[in-house]
């Protein structure tokens, strides 16, 4: 009897699937092979699996694109308090090609996610305030959210910080500082960093070593 119990436990362990295992199958064998594993985890309320399934259907990764199915998965994940799901829902609401297009819902979804600490949403909200998209321009709030995202290594936010320092948007112009924030993403081909680098000729400026500004120091590596 004891041997039978041990055997059953062993079988359960073999049948158990972690998100990492499903993700490995996805990367090595493709989405079609991984989908059944993600679905199994999704039934167990695994938000990473729910979100990844949604991304597969949004992108049409090995399957037909299905925004409605993705939306349903993300709403379930949102109810399970996934900040990533809120970000992805924001992207769906933001697209005027989406059947769920709603600019207000997009902004609110990004705000909720950003205030929960999700870096991509923080960058997104920073853009809203920087460019006055749907809300009044507020450079202080824009820089606040970009800083938050930058500290979490969402390096795309550094391009916006570089733009603010180069253009003097809400801060005193500092081309050396703009150089430092833009250089790595410029080298990696980020379109905004390349544009800021070219428009403000940042390559000719020396780096700025005087980093201490309030609670912010320098780009996180």
Work out the mean pLDDT of the chain and round it to a whole number.
Answer: 89
Q: What is the pLDDT of residue 211?
A: 54
Angle at which helices 119-131 and 103-115 cross, to 10°: 130
What fold does the segment set 81-149 form as a domain?
1.25.40
Phi, psi of 216, rounded to the nearest 5 degrees: -115, 140
Residues of the chain with CATH 1.25.40: 81-149
pLDDT, tens only, 28-69: 999 999 999 999 999 999 999 999 999 999 999 999 999 999
Residues of the chain predicted below pLDDT 50: 2, 4-16, 213-215
pLDDT at 17: 77
What Rg, from alpha-carbon coordinates, does the chain have? 22
């Amino acid at each position: 009897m004891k041997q039978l119990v041990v055997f059953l436990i062993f079988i359960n362990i073999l049948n158990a699937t972690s998100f990492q295992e499903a993700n490995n199958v996805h990367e090595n064998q493709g989405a079609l092979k991984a989908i059944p594993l993600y679905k199994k985890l999704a039934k167990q309320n695994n938000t990473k699996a729910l979100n990844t399934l949604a991304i597969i259907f949004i992108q049409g990764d090995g399957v037909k694109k299905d925004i409605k199915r993705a939306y349903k998965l993300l709403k379930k994940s949102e109810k399970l308090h996934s900040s990533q799901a809120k970000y992805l829902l924001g992207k769906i609401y933001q697209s005027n090609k989406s059947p769920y297009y709603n600019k207000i819902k997009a902004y609110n979804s990004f705000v909720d996610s950003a205030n929960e600490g999700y870096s991509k949403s923080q960058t997104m909200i920073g853009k809203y305030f920087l460019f006055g998209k749907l809300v009044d321009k507020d450079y202080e709030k824009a820089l606040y959210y970009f800083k938050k995202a930058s500290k979490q290594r969402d390096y795309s936010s550094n391009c916006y910080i570089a733009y603010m320092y180069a253009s003097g948007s809400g801060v005193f112009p500092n081309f050396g500082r703009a150089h430092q924030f833009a250089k790595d993403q410029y080298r990696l081909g980020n379109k905004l960093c390349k544009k800021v680098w070219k428009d403000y000729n940042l390559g000719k400026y020396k780096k700025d070593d005087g980093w201490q500004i309030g609670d912010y120091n320098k780009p996180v590596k």
